[in-house]
Amino acid sequence: MPIRDGVGDTAALTNASDIFSLIATGTAVSRSALLERSGLSRVTVTQRLNALIAADLIGEAAETLPSGGRPTRVLTVNRQVGHVLVANIGESHLHLALMSPDLMMIAQSTLRYEVAEGPTATLNRIADGFRQLQAETGDNGILLGIGLSLPAPVDYKRGRVVGPSVMRGWDDVDIIGPMAAHFDAPVYVDNDVNLMTLYEYRRHFQLADDILYIKVGTGIGAGFIADGKIFRGAHGASGDIGHIQFDSDDPPLCRCGKLGCVEARAAGWAIARDLRALGFKAENARDVIALVDEQVPEAIMLLRKAGRVIGEVTADVVSILNPGLIVVGGTLARGGDFLLSGIRELVYQRCLPLATRELNIVLAPPQADIALLGTGQLVVDNVFSPPGAADLLNRIVASMTRPVADRPEGARRRVRRAG
């Protein structure tokens, strides 16, 4: 039996990150699967798994999987290993949440917010809000990671908003640094549409590895999963389909200053504009949907027209990217087939058969807080990835009460590198 002290065999624990990652990501959830996938010997797997179980990081689920012989015991990450903190910065609200590693909301809070506050004050308020959530909910284990969702283009690698956008004053300002100064955990930042895309992919449509998510709300944006990963482009500006221009007689003026953008023809704000011109009261996408729900013919007509405009640009995207599935979400997606039929029509009409012969175009399942959940998903995907798991286990070991410094050198030496 390996040497153990009160907190388990820390050396074995830090080396167990590969095993932990396999279980946490769902890649291998049984001992025999771990044996195969890890390439390690049975003895080593057993030893590392024991270290993880002794440290209460991994546990055995009640259920077993049938195997033809002795049933497989299923391993899962203990929910109490830690928690995730996420924030969605909207145009007028900050939405914060504390989640379990399986993305269950444990606590949330909503704060009023104005862009004019600027990044420093906002990040401080978010940090305070996070601490309050932590205090409210008692012990939720270690902080696994922090995620922020922003309504602007984000250079993901650098963790910054890039370019002029709704987030005035945030351009090229470091977000990760200040946030990481508040908490000892990795911080991830991404654009909200990317995160919604990620959530739809991981939770509802994991089977297709190349999916296009189109968000039709007050504005229009798109996210793309390529080969199972969020596609971000060179500077995080990908998916900007709202400002693709089409020629036409009398092109409408877009809020970006150009003429004839898709947004100016089909976004919630544009439909609301047209409804107002017809004498209705409508300010945003929600108002439009309210009128559609009341069966107002003009609203329905305009929504159908918007569907065809979006269909036109979607057809271009399909020709360029060849996605395996298109998911339509956002407020206007509640208009259902009124919106979808136009998209389908144009895509199937304009694209070559190869690109569409197995292409489905579906509505996103109605669900609140997708951006927030997607943010949690991003954090968890990273934290449980092989390098993320290595970092996490190092942090867990370091946070264990008994200092490791007074143990013999050998106990800490063999720590596997991240890559």
Partner DNA sequence: TTACTTATGTATAGAAATATACAAAATGAT
Partner DNA sequence: ATCATTTTGTATATTTCTATACATAAGTAA
Residues that bind DNA (CB under 7 A): 1, 11, 15, 30-32, 39-44, 46-47, 49-50, 64, 66-73, 409-411, 413-414, 416
Question: Which listed option, a copy of itself, DNA, none, makes contact with residue 240 (CB within 5 to 8 Å by class)?
Answer: a copy of itself
Task: Rank residues 44 and 245 by Cβ distance to DNA and give the closer one.
Answer: 44
Residue 230 burial (C-beta neighbours within 10 Å; 0-12, 13-18, 19+): buried
Q: How distant, in Å, are the alpha carbons of 33, 40, 135, 151 from that of 219?
A: 45, 50, 36, 11
Binders of a copy of itself among residues 370 to 409 (CB under 8 A) are: none
Which of 369, 321, 362, 364 lies closest to 340, judged by CA? Answer: 362
Q: Closest approach of Cβ 294 to a copy of itself, in Å?
A: 33
Which of 65, 61, 62 lies closest to 76, judged by CA? Answer: 61
Question: What is the C-alpha separation between 268 and 239, in angstroms, rounded?
Answer: 18
Query: Phi then psi for 25, rounded to 5 degrees?
Result: -85, -5
Contact 262, 309 (CB under 8 A): yes
Quote the tokens at residue 239: 């998916």
Question: Which listed option, DNA, a copy of itself, none, makes contact with residue 77 (CB within 5 to 8 Å by class)?
Answer: none
Question: What is the C-alpha separation between 164 and 167, in angstroms, rounded?
Answer: 8
> What is the per-residue burial (b if ≥16 Cβ within 10 Å, else e) of 244-272?
bbeeeeeeeebeeeeebbbbbbbbbbbbb
Our finding on whether 365 is near a copy of itself (CB under 8 A) is: no
Our finding on whether 331 is near a copy of itself (CB under 8 A) is: no
Q: Closest approach of Cβ 386 to DNA, in Å?
A: 15
Question: What is the C-alpha separation between 302 and 300, in angstroms, rounded?
Answer: 5
Contact 76, 59 (CB under 8 A): yes
Q: Closest approach of Cβ 418 to DNA, in Å?
A: 14
Task: Select from 44, 72, 109, 245 the one that contacts a copy of itself (CB under 8 A).
Answer: 245
Q: Which position has the token pair 């930042």? A: 189
* Contact code string over 150-169 relative to a copy of itself, x by CB under 8 A: ---x--------xxxx----
Question: Which listed option, a copy of itself, DNA, none, makes contact with residue 335 (CB within 5 to 8 Å by class)?
Answer: none
Q: Closest approach of Cβ 50 to a copy of itself, in Å?
A: 23
Our finding on whether 8 is near a copy of itself (CB under 8 A) is: no
Taking contact as CB under 8 A, which single stretch among the options 46-54, 203-211, 372-380, 396-404 is the one that binds a copy of itself? 203-211
Q: Which residues bind a copy of itself (CB under 8 A)?
A: 39, 153, 162-165, 208-210, 222, 226-227, 229, 231-241, 243-248, 256, 258, 313, 315-317, 319-325, 350, 352-355, 357-359, 416-417, 419
